[in-house]
């Protein structure tokens, strides 16, 4: 089982978001354990995260496909630490010590939405690894119509 720690600024007050996070945690029960550590500001984030090797979620990091993320998680081992920053991003001291800087998107998300996207991608990675139908990759140039 993979043990995941997620350090994040602020807690979620939105009930719908808490329900969504709980659903993915339930789905991951036999594959990953998620430990959410919430802090109030950058100084508390630096102190809580310490010098632990982490994956920092930053819009300037490397963009990954879900398939590549699944491969990386398999290589990173059984203990993973993710850092989600606040409105000003992740403090430079944490970025310097990060084992990997990952961008979910060039778009900006709230830390609450980032938590949901992160846990969904962790679940997707486990489903890709086991070959389930949860992840259906659409090849480029597909005939499926899309709105612009």
Domain range list for the chain: 2-130
pLDDT for 142 equals 47
pLDDT for 124 equals 95
pLDDT in tens, 50-77: 877 899 999 999 999 999 999 999 999 9
- Extract the tokens encoding 90: 């992740």
In angstroms, rounded to a whole number, what is the distance separating the alpha carbons of residues 24 and 102?
20
In angstroms, rounded to a whole number, what is the distance separating the alpha carbons of residues 114 and 35?
15
Q: Which homologous superfamily is 2-130 in?
A: SPOUT methyltransferase, trefoil knot domain (3.40.1280.10)
- Taking 70 as the pLDDT cut, the residues of the chain under it are 136-148
pLDDT for 87 equals 84
Q: How many CB atoms lie within 10 A of CB 123?
A: 19
């Amino acid at each position: 089982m993979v043990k995941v720690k997620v350090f994040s600024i602020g807690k979620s007050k939105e009930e719908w978001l808490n329900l969504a996070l709980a659903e993915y945690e339930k789905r991951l029960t036999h594959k990953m354990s998620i430990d959410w550590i919430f802090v109030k500001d950058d100084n508390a984030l630096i102190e809580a995260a310490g010098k632990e090797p982490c994956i920092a979620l930053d819009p300037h990091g490397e963009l990954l496909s879900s398939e590549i993320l699944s491969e990386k998680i398999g290589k990173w081992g059984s203990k993973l630490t993710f850092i989600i920053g606040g409105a000003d991003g992740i403090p430079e001291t944490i970025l310097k010590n990060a084992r990997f800087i990952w961008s979910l998107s060039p778009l900006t998300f709230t830390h609450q939405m980032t938590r949901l996207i992160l846990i969904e991608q962790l679940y997707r990675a486990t489903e890709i690894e086991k070959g389930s139908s949860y992840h259906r990759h659409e090849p480029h140039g597909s005939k499926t119509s899309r709105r612009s």
